[in-house]
Chains A and B, each alone.
Chain A
Amino acid sequence: MELLRLLEENARLSLEQLAAMTGETKEAVAAQLDQYERDGVIRSYTALIDWEKTGRNYVSALIELKVTPKRDYGFEEIARTVMDFPEVETVYLMSGGYDLMLIVSGETFRDIALFVAHRLSPLESVLSTATHFVLRRYKERGVVICGDGEDDEREELL
Chain B
Amino acid sequence: MDYDRLLSQQVRALQPSGIRRFFDIAAEMEHVISLGVGEPDFKTPFTIRQAGIHSLERGKTWYTANAGLPELKTEITNYLRRRFTLEYDPKKEVVVTVGGSEAIDLCIRALIDPGDEVLVPEPCFVAYAPIAQLTHARVVPIATKEEDEFRLTAKALREHITPRTKLLIFPYPNNPTGAVMGRKDLEEIAAVLRETNVCVLSDEIYAELTYGGEKHVSIASIDGMHERTVLVGGFSKAYAMTGWRLGYVCAPAPITKQMLKIHQYAIMCSPTTSQYAGIVALRECDEEIEKMAKEYDMRRRLCIDGFNRIGLHCFPARGTFYVFPSIRSTGMSSEEFCQKLLYAKQVAVVPGSAFGAAGEGYIRVSYSYSVNHLVTALARIEEFLNELRAGKHE
Report which A residues bind B (CB closer than 8 A): 2, 6, 9-10, 12-13, 16-17, 19-23, 152, 154-158
Contact of B371 among A9, A155, A158 (CB under 8 A): A9
* 9 examples of A-B residue contacts, CB within 8 angstroms: A2-B298, A10-B371, A17-B306, A20-B301, A23-B301, A154-B41, A158-B17, A158-B38, A158-B125
Say whether B305 faces chain A, with CB atoms less than 8 Å apart: yes
CA distance A156 to B305 in the complex (A): 25
Say whether B36 faces chain A, with CB atoms less than 8 Å apart: yes
Q: Which B residues are in CB contact (< 8 Å) with A22? A: 298
Task: Give the distance to chain A from B39, nearest Cβ to Cβ, in Å.
Answer: 6
Say whether B79 faces chain A, with CB atoms less than 8 Å apart: no
CA distance A21 to B304 in the complex (A): 10
The answer to whether B37 touches A154 (Cβ under 8 A) is: yes
Q: Which B residues are in CB contact (< 8 Å) with A157? A: 20, 38
Say whether B19 faces chain A, with CB atoms less than 8 Å apart: yes
The answer to whether A156 touches B372 (Cβ under 8 A) is: no
CA distance A66 to B239 in the complex (A): 48
If A9-B371, A13-B371, A13-B375 touch, does A156 touch B19 (CB 8 Å cutoff)? yes
Q: Which A residues are in CB contact (< 8 Å) with B34? A: 152, 156
Identify 12 new A-B residue pairs, CB closer than 8 A, beyond the known A17-B306, A152-B37, A158-B38: A10-B372, A10-B375, A13-B371, A19-B305, A20-B304, A21-B301, A154-B41, A156-B350, A157-B38, A158-B17, A158-B20, A158-B125
Interface 0/1 of B37-77, CB less than 8 Å to A? 11101000000000000000000000000000000000000
The answer to whether A155 touches B37 (Cβ under 8 A) is: yes
Interface 0/1 of B243-268, CB less than 8 Å to A? 00000000000000000000000000
The answer to whether B127 touches A158 (Cβ under 8 A) is: yes
Task: Give the distance to chain B from A40, nearest Cβ to Cβ, in Å.
Answer: 25
- Considering only CB atoms, which chain B residue lies closest to A17 in the complex? B302
The answer to whether B39 touches A154 (Cβ under 8 A) is: yes
- Considering only CB atoms, which chain B residue lies closest to A154 in the complex? B37
The answer to whether B38 touches A20 (Cβ under 8 A) is: no
CA distance A16 to B20 in the complex (A): 34
Main secondary structure of the interface of B (DSSP, over half): helix
Say whether B283 faces chain A, with CB atoms less than 8 Å apart: no
CA distance A157 to B18 in the complex (A): 10
The answer to whether B302 touches A156 (Cβ under 8 A) is: no
Interface size class of B (residues with CB under 8 A): 20 to 34
Q: Which A residues are in CB contact (< 8 Å) with B309? A: 16
Say whether B126 faces chain A, with CB atoms less than 8 Å apart: yes
If A21-B301, A158-B19 touch, does A9 touch B372 (CB 8 Å cutoff)? yes
CA distance A61 to B38 in the complex (A): 43
If A6-B371, A9-B371, A9-B372 touch, does A158 touch B23 (CB 8 Å cutoff)? no
Contact of B305 among A2, A20, A152, A154 (CB under 8 A): A20
Q: Which B residues are in CB contact (< 8 Å) with A20? A: 301-302, 304-306
CA distance A21 to B350 in the complex (A): 24
Q: Which of B17, B36, B298 has the largest number of chain A CB atoms within 10 A? A: B298
Task: Give the distance to chain A from B380, nearest Cβ to Cβ, in Å.
Answer: 15
Task: Kindly identify, within residues 198 to 212 of chain B, every residue whose CB is under 8 Å from any CB belonging to chain A.
Answer: none
The answer to whether A16 touches B37 (Cβ under 8 A) is: no
Task: Give the distance to chain B from A79, nearest Cβ to Cβ, in Å.
Answer: 34
- Considering only CB atoms, which chain A residue lies closest to B299 in the complex? A21
CA distance A22 to B301 in the complex (A): 8
Interface 0/1 of B287-323, CB less than 8 Å to A? 0000000000011011011100100000000000000
The answer to whether A17 touches B305 (Cβ under 8 A) is: yes
The answer to whether B38 touches A156 (Cβ under 8 A) is: yes
The answer to whether A158 touches B41 (Cβ under 8 A) is: no
Q: Which B residues are in CB contact (< 8 Å) with A155? A: 23, 37
Q: Which of A10, A22, A156 has the largest number of chain B CB atoms within 10 A? A: A156
CA distance A22 to B127 in the complex (A): 35
Q: Which of B41, B127, B375 has the largest number of chain A CB atoms within 10 A? A: B375
CA distance A17 to B19 in the complex (A): 29
Q: Which A residues are in CB contact (< 8 Å) with B126? A: 158
Task: Give the distance to chain A from B42, nearest Cβ to Cβ, in Å.
Answer: 11
Task: Give the distance to chain B from A59, nearest Cβ to Cβ, in Å.
Answer: 28
The answer to whether A156 touches B375 (Cβ under 8 A) is: no
CA distance A156 to B176 in the complex (A): 14
The answer to whether B375 touches A17 (Cβ under 8 A) is: yes
Interface 0/1 of B4-47, CB less than 8 Å to A? 00000000000001011001000000000010111101000000
Q: Which B residues are in CB contact (< 8 Å) with A2? A: 298
Q: Which B residues are in CB contact (< 8 Å) with A12? A: 375
Task: Kindly identify, within residues 151 to 199 of chain B, every residue whose CB is under 8 Å from any CB belonging to chain A.
Answer: none
Task: Kindly identify, within residues 113 to 141 of chain B, every residue whose CB is under 8 Å from any CB belonging to chain A.
Answer: 125-127
Task: Give the distance to chain B from A98, nearest Cβ to Cβ, in Å.
Answer: 33
CA distance A6 to B302 in the complex (A): 12
CA distance A153 to B301 in the complex (A): 25
